Amino acid sequence: MTGLGGGSIMIPLLVYLGVPIKYAIAASMVTIIATSSGSASSYVKEKLANVKLAMLS
């Protein structure tokens, strides 16, 4: 949503709209995973990431 601060905006907004806190946190985590996966695949596609080095850490 807004980078690292997305959860700090999304979770209170969802709770304010009546979503239970556990579901709001889960929705935020799914958003983070989806965004991170998309970014990682883009970096790998453009050969900007060293996958072998990433697997070592």
- pLDDT of amino acid 32: 84
Number of domains within the chain: 1
Residues 28-41 have pLDDT tens digits of: 899 888 888 999 99
- pLDDT of amino acid 2: 57
**Domain containing 37: what range?**
3-56
Residues 20-29 have pLDDT tens digits of: 999 999 998 9
- What does the block give as tokens for 13? 């907004």
- From CA 15, how far away is CA 42, in angstroms rounded? 32
pTM over 0.75: no
Three-state DSSP string of 3-29: HHHHHHHHHHHHHHCCCCHHHHHHHHH
